[in-house]
């Protein structure tokens, strides 16, 4: 969907972005990750041409964006920024209708769209349409910011640290909410972040930037388990192997082989009792599962689906084995 080839940006004599190339498939979330000043935001802003590239090519849906008029290009791409930037002189409804109005949509159609989108971001339209931005909390403002970016149904969304200014508790909530919205709208999203946990949670692919270049491009698991350089390993953190836990689910390690003590209790009977044993759901991430096992001092848990049907056993030892599977040591 988005193809970026040999992108460069120089400001005077300093190089902000150097020879950046990567592709993002349709419907994927690609996180541009890195420390501040690494060129990730500059790269993002070159895609909707808030910054003009010095050289290189950006194609969206196969089309070279340099052939498009800059204003037309911007209107066809959703844009969300950290400071939200809702216009304080406009109501929530008017804010969401900005791009539809610029595109000359029919008033009734764009109003209907605004109400729909508020439903999508879980704000009740009858309550919020006529409010002003100053009457919303930070989290609510950013939900409206996301709704505004989705207004004209753009295939591509650019998000510049959209949840960076929200407190940690609400950030988790709005991240989950965004993942739910994304499943519904299926946009191709480029997402700038400096938060590794956010990247691990949301990304289908990660581009890790360092000094204007892409240090490594791959899945979160690639970066955590198989870092290509010391910089990547350091950036992902000393606990990067542990972070892999968030990427795996209980069902991934569930086995049919029962623990020895359990066999003695039920005598090899297939009717498995869940009494006094920890029960986890197949979709639970392994970080939660391991934490619960350690907390209750148990070696294993039962994995049952939502109807209570037995799926398998989750052993602590299997989880630990999984953690180091497919890892490569960093080359010094």
Partner 1 sequence: METLSFILENGGLISLLLGQHLMIVMIAVGLAILTGVPVGIAISQHPRARRWVLAFAAVLMTIPSAALFGLMIPALSLIGYGIGVVPAVIALFLYSQLPIIRNTTTAISNLDPALREAAVGMGMSTWQRLLQVELPLAVPLIMAGVRMATVINIGIAAIAAYIGAGGLGSLIIRGIAQSDPRQLLAGAIIISVIAIAADYALYALQRLLTPKGLNKMAAGQMKEATT
Give the interface with partner 1 as residue ranges (CB under 8 A): 48, 50, 71-76, 79, 81, 83-91, 98-99, 102, 132-135, 148
Task: List Cβ<8 Å contacts ≥24 apart for 296-302.
Answer: 299/259, 300/259, 300/262, 301/250, 301/277, 302/272, 302/274, 302/277, 302/278
Choose between 80 and 248: whose C-beta lies nearer to partner 1.
80
The answer to whether the beta carbons of residues 25 and 75 sit under 8 Å apart is no
Phi, psi angle pair for 307, to nearest 5°: -90, 5
Neighbours of 178 (CB within 10 A): 22
Name the burial class of residue 15, with classes exposed (0-12), middle (13-18) and buried (19+) by CB atoms within 10 angstroms of its CB. Answer: middle
From the CB of 306, what's the least distance to partner 1, in Å?
A: 42
Residue 132 beta carbon to partner 1: minimum distance, rounded to whole angstroms: 4
**At closest approach, how far in Å is the CB of 165 from partner 1?**
10
Q: Minimum Å distance from CB 52 to partner 1?
A: 13
Cβ distance to partner 1 smaller for residue 28 or 48: 48
CB nearer partner 1, residue 152 or residue 174: 152
Would you give the DSSP letter of residue 255?
B
Q: Which residues contact 53 (CB under 8 A, 6 or more apart)?
A: 7, 8, 9, 17, 46
Q: Which is nearer to partner 1, 72 or 296 (CB)?
A: 72
Comparison of 57 and 74: residue with beta carbon closer to partner 1: 74
What's the closest the beta carbon of residue 51 comes to partner 1, in angstroms?
Answer: 11
């Amino acid at each position: 969907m988005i193809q970026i080839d040999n992108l460069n940006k120089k400001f005077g004599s300093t190089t902000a972005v150097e020879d950046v190339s990567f592709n993002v498939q349709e419907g994927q979330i690609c996180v541009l990750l890195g420390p501040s000043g690494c060129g990730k935001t500059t790269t993002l802003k070159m895609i909707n041409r808030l910054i003009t590239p010095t050289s290189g090519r950006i194609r969206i849906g196969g089309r070279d964006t340099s052939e498009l008029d800059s204003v037309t290009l911007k209107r066809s791409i959703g844009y969300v920024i950290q400071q939200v930037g809702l216009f304080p002189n406009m109501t929530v409804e008017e804010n969401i209708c900005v791009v539809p109005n610029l595109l000359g949509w029919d008033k009734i159609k764009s109003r209907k769209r605004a109400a729909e989108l508020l439903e999508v971001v879980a704000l009740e339209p009858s309550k919020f349409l006529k409010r002003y931005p100053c009457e919303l909390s930070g989290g609510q403002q950013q939900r409206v910011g996301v709704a505004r970016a989705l207004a004209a149904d753009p295939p591509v969304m650019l998000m510049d640290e959209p949840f960076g200014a929200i407190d940690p508790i609400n950030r988790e909530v709005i991240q989950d909410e965004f993942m739910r919205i994304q499943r519904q709208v299926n946009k191709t999203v480029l997402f700038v972040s400096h938060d590794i946990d956010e990247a691990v949670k949301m990304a289908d692919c990660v581009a890790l930037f360092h000094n204007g270049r892409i240090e490594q491009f791959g899945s979160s698991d690639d970066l955590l388990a198989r870092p290509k350089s010391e910089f990547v390993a350091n950036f992902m953190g000393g606990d990067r192997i542990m972070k892999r836990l968030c990427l795996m689910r209980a069902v991934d390690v569930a086995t049919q082989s029962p623990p020895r003590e359990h066999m003695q209790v039920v005598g090899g009977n297939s009717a498995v009792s869940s009494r006094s044993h920890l029960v986890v759901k197949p979709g639970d991430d392994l970080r939660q599962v391991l934490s619960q096992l350690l907390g209750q001092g148990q070696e294993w848990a039962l994995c049952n689906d939502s109807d209570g049907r037995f799926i398998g056993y989750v052993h602590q030892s299997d989880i630990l084995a999984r953690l180091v599977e497919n890892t490569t040591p960093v080359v010094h």
